[in-house]
Structure 1
Amino acid sequence: MVKTLFLFFQRFNTPALDQMIIEDEVRTANLSRCRVITGLYLPLAVIIHFYFRYGNFISKPGAENWVEGYLILNLYIGSISLVLFLTAFWLKKTENEQGLLSAVLPHFVFLLFAIGGATCSVYDQTLNNSITSFLLACLLNAAILLIRPLHLFLYLSTIYLGFCYGLYLTQHDQTEMVLTIIDALCMVTVAYAIAWVFWKNNMTRFKQGRLIKSQRMVLVHQYEKLARSNAQLEVSNGKLEESNASKDQFFSILAHDLRGPLGSAMALTKFLGEGEFESDPEERQKMYMLLQNSLNNSAKLLENVLLWSTNQAGVLNFKPTLLNVYDTVQSSVEVLKIVASQKQIEVLNFVPKQLSVYADSDMLHTIFRNLLSNAIKFTPNLGNVEVRSELFASELNGKPMLKISVIDYGVGMSHKVLSNLFQIEKKMIGLGTNNESGTGLGLVLCKDFIEKHEGSILVESKENEGSKFMITLPGRN
């Protein structure tokens, strides 16, 4: 017997998913249905009141008390319905559908109309044996509201027992009382069966809805993940194509620009080896200078190629240390002193001697050497190249920043050249004032190195007025 009772009540045990559904979908559905039931009863209560108050009834003994009882009961049920309707509306308005009040509200509504229907049927026994009100209240509430079967069993059992007690007090015909009690039991059983079926169907529907929703979310998540992967692949593919194009252009530049200086050097050494200029020392000296320039250009090109390829491969060491800016600039000036003296160009270092910066020594030397070399190349003979500096506070975070400018007053650059200046696939660098050649690879290398220091490079230039290359690095005074 104990085991049978245990198995019976175990059927009412709610699993975790069912509990979640009761707390979410069931409460939301019940709250909406409570608004409908209570809202529809309010105008019905007014109609009932006017019907019984002003309608014509067949005169029967006790009819006045029967009508008065109906009016009082209707007033109570209507007033409570109004309160419940306003409560349900407020819960919806405040989006508080998962609170304790929204959980117990359907139980109040069910009990109100079930007890009201039973009471009306008890009142009917004074004139007739109708239990229509009890029938409608039980069936409609059971078919509309979602009450857990165990709770519904307790409610219907209690209301049925109360109805039977009311019949005992009002129905004096024993036969009619027994028949009415049996009819009421059938009604309660049917109402419970309907409610049980509706509960199971709704729980199944809610579970399927959750399953569909979860599957839809999984599909959406997978679609978004696939879209992100495709976008990343497109970006990677674009970068790969850009990298391949850059490398193809790079090798094209390398083959072209090495062929020129090396070809010239081979021709000059052949002429010098054959003694073509032995009788003319001035011409021979000129050939030596041309040979030196050709070899210098080749050496510079190879040095930049080596640094650029090492940087692209990601194996170039980045070791920032505290450097004196003036000494670093001056070291690069000394390296290019012979090149500048050939054009009688003076390189002026106006950087304060106490200025320092955290930077990689080799990279910073490469940056200055390339910028100064370009400035010398595009400055006419007897000109000047200036290096100036400026400390300022960053507009983003207020941290000190150092701006170093390499300024020349040479041929300058057009807007077209400026727009493609730091792109390796665009060979925009022309010949210098003494026909010095260049590839533009040095500027690409400068930009990469400056960005490794979390800095930036800007250029201002006008044709026939000169150029100003400005690099900005995190500063230290």
Structure 2
Amino acid sequence: MAKTLPSFFQRFKTPALDKMIIEEEVRTANLSRATAITGLFVPVTIIIHLYFSYNTFGKQPHTLNPLDNFFALNSYLGLICLILFLSGLWLKRSSREHTLLISLFPHLVFLVFATAGALCSIYDQALDRTIIIFLLACLLNASTLLIRPLNLILYLTVVYLFFCYGVYLTQPDQQEVMLIAIDALCVIAVTYAIGRVFWNNNLTRLKQDRLIKSQKSILVHQYEKLSQSNVKLEKSNASKDQFFSILAHDLRGPLNSAIALTKFLEEGLFESDHEERQKMYNLLQNSLNNSSKLLENVLLWSTNQAGVLHFKPMRLNVYETVQSSIEILKIVAAQKNIEIINLVSKYLSISADMDMIHTVFRNLLSNAIKFTPNFGSVEIRSELVINEHNGRESVRISVVDYGVGMSSKTLNNLFRIEKKMIGLGTNNETGTGLGLVLCKDFIEKHEGSIIVESKENEGSKFIITLPART
């Protein structure tokens, strides 16, 4: 908002905005006002026509007099007003197709009414030297229609010269011509002053209206963004609160178990039974390993969320990267007699951050081992795929196990941090599912994707797609 408003204020002071307002707001306002004026004068001319008809009904034809000229002028003016009124209505309905006609329409109405007022005052000179009708016509135009001051002075000058010439021809007393011309000049001056003030005031008001609309639009946009950010923040805070609640619960379990086991060992309850003592040591080791893994994932996740985790992509051989992760987990797999089979092509390369990708493979392999029964197997496969739309190459890596699988409910909430969807492993191994959340975040940092295919009691397949490095 701070950047948008100054740019609009700068635009507000430039002629470009004046031109836009004249082409849009002024043109629209003039069309409506010109249509309203012509529509208003249609019934007025009809009433005048009926008045003259009533007063001359039954009388014998007589010689032409100024009233007859006024009556004829009124009839023509009424017909012209009707035509202009209908034209204005038509232009309002087809405004997008006739922009030039819409721009010229108010100028035509201005000239028609100013000329008609001048003619009425010209014919009136045979009876009286007043120029009230000319005055009213000019003031009506100036206070209703928005005419640019330069055009206004041009139109008024033409009408004034026409009026003076007409008065010169119709005024019997030539000594009065000069006085009438001076009065008419005063009318023109007042009309121009009113028209100029009216133009400037309306242009300023239209600028302010546009500025207010722009500010309102910006405020509405900013409010929507703040509302969306607030919703996301509340959702994120709720998710994190729930996650840390789950984390605290899961961390408390292994630690309490480790404390209890160390007490048993300290008291020497299993000194005489080597097999039971070894079992206790294994339980203690598993408990501490689970706590260590959980804390490691929490540290990585929090570092990634804070934006502190640096992304350093480099060229990596997929086979070697997967194999190094397998070596780390060989001991864990051996405890359940699970075979990890690396079927990845030795010739595929990706551009990735080594630490992040190792974390991804370790978590996926660890989960696969956890949910695979003893004496089972886990496979890692790969293939090169080409995008049909842009022709880009990607490497698709699949971690496949033939274990317990997952339900549809578990699949739908698998990558949501606030949901604890990871249950016990085949040997009662525990976990929170935070590793999968990390996997998704890290894969998306590489502009890749991760999807899961799984059925209960049939196993799971985690499919990673990453941009290939040629």
1:250 pairs, out of 243, 247, 250, with 247
The alignment partner of 2:332 has SS state of helix
Is the deviation greater in 78-87 or in 108-117?
Answer: 78-87
Moved more, 338-347 or 146-155: 146-155
Find out whether 1:371 has 2:367 as its counterpart.
no
Partner of 1:327: 320
Q: Take 2:379 and 2:204, find their aligned partners in 1: how far apart are those partners?
A: 78
Equivalent runs, 1:225-374 vs 2, <5 Å:
225-261=222-258, 263-264=260-261, 267-268=264-265, 271=268, 275-278=271-274, 282-283=275-276, 285-374=278-367
Q: Which residue of 2 aligns with 1:400?
A: 393
Q: Which amino acid aligns with 2:222?
A: K
Which amino acid in structure 1 is aligned with residue 264 of structure 2?
A: A
Contact kept? 2:381, 2:398, Cα under 8 Å? yes
Report how far residue 166 of structure 1 moved: 0.3
Summarize the Cα distance change of 1:435–1:226 in structure 2 as closer, same or farther, 3 Å threshold.
closer
How many Å separate the matches in 1 of 2:405 and 2:103? 79
- Unaligned 5+ segments in structure 1 are 1-15
Within the alignment, does 1:455 sit opposite 2:434 as a pair? Answer: no
Distance 1:69 1:303 in 2: 103
Change (3 A) 1:231 1:108: same
Amino acid at match of 1:362: D
1:361 to partner: Cα distance:
1.4
Are residues 412 and 89 of structure 1, via their aligned partners in 2, closer, same or farther at CA, if it must alter by over 3 Å? closer
Unaligned 5+ segments in structure 2 are 1-14
1:301-334 residue CA offsets vs partner (Å, 9 max, x unmatched):
3433333333333322221111111111111222
Comparing 218-227 with 460-469, which one deviates more in the overlay? 218-227
Tell me: CA distance 1:418–1:88, structure 2 relative to 1, closer, same or farther (3 Å).
closer
Cα distance change on mapping 1:255 and 1:196 into 2, 3 Å: same
Q: Which segment is superposed worse, 453-462 or 26-35? A: 26-35
Shift of 1:408: 1.3
Match of 1:113 among 109, 112, 116: 116
Q: CA RMSD in A?
A: 4.6
| Structure 1 counterpart SS, 2:314 | strand
Could you tell me which of 441, 466, 470 is aligned with 1:473? 466
Does the 8 A contact of 2:352 with 2:446 survive in 1?
yes
Deviation at 1:194, TM superposition (A): 6.8
Comparing 206-215 with 355-364, greater Cα deviation is found at 206-215
Change (3 A) 1:276 1:98: farther
Shift in alpha-carbon separation, 1:136–1:256, aligned structure 2, 3 A: same
Mean alpha-carbon deviation: is it higher for 36-45 or for 465-474?
36-45
**Shift of residue 121, structure 1, vs aligned partner:** 4.6
Deviations 1:42-100 (A, max 9, x none): 9969x98x97xx9876565xx26999989998999899889977886786544526987
Structure 2 counterparts to residues 136-147 of structure 1, below 5 A? 136-145=133-142, 146=145
Q: Which SS does the other structure have where 2:272 is aligned?
A: coil
For 2:161, the equivalent position in structure 1 comes to 158
Secondary structure at 1:336 match in 2: helix
Match of 1:384 among 351, 369, 377: 377
TM-score, scaled relative to structure 1: 0.73
Equivalent residue letter for 1:143: L
- Please report the TM-score for the alignment, with normalisation by the length of structure 2: 0.74
- Indicate if the aligned counterparts of 2:73 and 2:120 stay in contact, CA closer than 8 A: no
